[in-house]
């Protein structure tokens, strides 16, 4: 389902770790920095387990016998669906999800890239990508419009588990951060907006990606155009987290001071935490709060008959895929079945 041949490989910047000037030069050249296996495996696996337990608790993934595979057992849910939000609220409460943004290695990288006062936004994002849910794969976009504040905002994207191309990792349009703010249009995927990428960028620049593994980190600034590949697996959820960092003294908008989607309060999020070390940590930091501007989107938001037909077609396709997946899983667990459990795609 993905045209893997359309992507060049990302280059690793592990050789530049600890060299702030070289990292910044590489970021300026490539629009991204990719670090291979720099975070602690056990830490990421512990986070993955908590995320999957949260999803299993809401019935989205199978709990036994293979919780850590992340086998989806409900119809695909998208951001905005009630089923999605029920599970996502539980993910938002996970202490390890928020505290990962303060990981020593990660923070050292972000401070080398941005400067010594770089801090993670309170808003932390998790992505719960269903298999074969192609219509909502993250579209090409820049992070600036949905965050605003400073243009020096820089993201780290971290797969919560191995994420080979087949599971739909991130791809970056190399060189794209040099082309300013791109116009926007709407989309069903995360963030609900996509960048309108002009043909000259698509002709002149190349998309790059890689088979992400446990412990990898991808860093990119707010104007880099990035997107996800499709999760083309038949059964497996693609889980990832992303954090945005900025320097003290710069602007942010109120939106990044709240939990993602603003369904919970910070007290809700913190209720079950074992430590208060990273609770409300931003209250003592120095930043200004800028208004969030309506940057508009190119297409009108009026819903047309064509939109409704397209949405209905999406729903029908995703229901049909869900029914196929359910039938396959039923055949595997059925009495006397000689089918074996699906293995997640290899690294």
Ligand X SMILES: O=C(O)CCC(=O)C(=O)O
In the complex with ligand X, the residue whose CB is nearer, 16 or 98, is 98
By CB under 6 A, residue 231 contacts ligand X: no
H-state helical runs in 58-173:
82-92, 95-99, 104-114, 144-147
Does residue 72 touch ligand X according to CB under 6 A? no
Closer CB to ligand X, residue 169 or residue 329? 169
By the rule CB under 6 A, 166 interacts with ligand X: no
Distance CA 74, CA 58 (A): 10
Strand, helix or coil for residue 55: helix
- Which residues, listed in sequence order, are joined to residue 157 by a DSSP beta bridge? 218, 242
Query: CB-wise, 16 or 89, nearer to ligand X?
Result: 89
158, β-bridge pairs: 241
Q: Does 242 bind ligand X (CB under 6 A)?
A: yes
Contacts of 262 (CB under 8 A, 6+ apart): none
d(CA 96, CA 106): 14
Considering the rule CB under 6 A, would residue 228 count as an interface residue with ligand X? yes
> d(Cα 120, Cα 156) in Å, to the nearest integer?
10
78 near ligand X, judged by CB under 6 A: no
Nearest CB to ligand X, comparing residues 99 and 228? 228
Within 264-323, which residues bind ligand X (CB under 6 A)?
Answer: none
β-bridge mates for residue 239, sequence order: 128
> Given the complex with ligand X, which of 23 and 170 has the nearer CB atom?
170
**Is 156 a binder of ligand X (CB under 6 A)?**
no
Size of the site for ligand X (CB under 6 A): 11
Smallest separation (angstroms) from ligand X to the CB of 18: 27
Let me know the angle formed at the C-alpha of 128 by 282 and 300, rounded to the nearest 5 degrees.
85
User: Contact with ligand X (CB under 6 A): which of 190, 215, 221, 344?
Assistant: 190
Assign 253 to helix, strand or coil: strand
Residues at the site binding ligand X, with contacts judged by CB under 6 A: 125, 127, 138, 143, 157, 170, 190, 226, 228, 240, 242
């Amino acid at each position: 389902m993905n045209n893997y041949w359309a992507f060049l490989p990302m280059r690793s910047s592990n050789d530049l770790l600890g060299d702030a000037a070289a990292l910044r030069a590489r970021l300026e050249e490539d629009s991204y920095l990719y670090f291979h296996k720099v975070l602690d495996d056990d830490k990421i696996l512990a986070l993955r387990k908590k995320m999957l337990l949260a999803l299993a608790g809401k019935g989205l993934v199978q709990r036994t016998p293979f919780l850590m595979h992340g086998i989806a057992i409900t119809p695909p849910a998208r951001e905005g669906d009630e089923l999605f939000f029920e599970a996502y609220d539980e993910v938002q409460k996970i202490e390890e999800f928020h505290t990962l943004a303060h990981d020593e290695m990660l923070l050292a990288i972000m401070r080398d890239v941005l400067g010594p006062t770089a801090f993670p936004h309170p808003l932390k994002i998790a992505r719960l990508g269903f298999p074969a849910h192609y219509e909502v794969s993250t579209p090409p976009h820049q992070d600036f419009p949905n965050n605003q504040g400073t243009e020096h905002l820089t993201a780290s994207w971290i797969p919560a588990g191995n994420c080979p191309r087949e599971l739909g990792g991130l791809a970056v349009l190399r060189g794209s951060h040099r082309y300013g703010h791109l116009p926007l249009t709407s989309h069903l995927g995360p963030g609900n907006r996509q960048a309108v990428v002009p043909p000259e960028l698509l002709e002149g620049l190349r998309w790059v990606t890689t088979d992400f593994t446990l412990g990898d980190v991808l860093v990119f600034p707010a104007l880099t155009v990035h997107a996800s590949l499709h999760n083309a697996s038949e059964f497996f959820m693609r889980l990832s987290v992303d954090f945005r960092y900025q320097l003290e003294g710069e602007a942010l908008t109120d939106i990044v001071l709240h939990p993602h989607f603003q369904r919970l309060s910070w007290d809700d999020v913190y209720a079950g935490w074992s430590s208060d070390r990273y609770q409300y940590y931003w209250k003592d930091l120095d930043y200004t709060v800028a208004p969030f501007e309506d940057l508009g989107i190119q297409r009108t938001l009026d819903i047309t008959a064509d939109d409704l037909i397209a949405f209905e077609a999406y729903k029908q396709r995703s229901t049909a895929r869900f029914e196929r997946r359910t039938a396959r899983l039923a055949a595997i667990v059925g009495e006397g079945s000689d089918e074996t459990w699906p293995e997640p795609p290899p690294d």
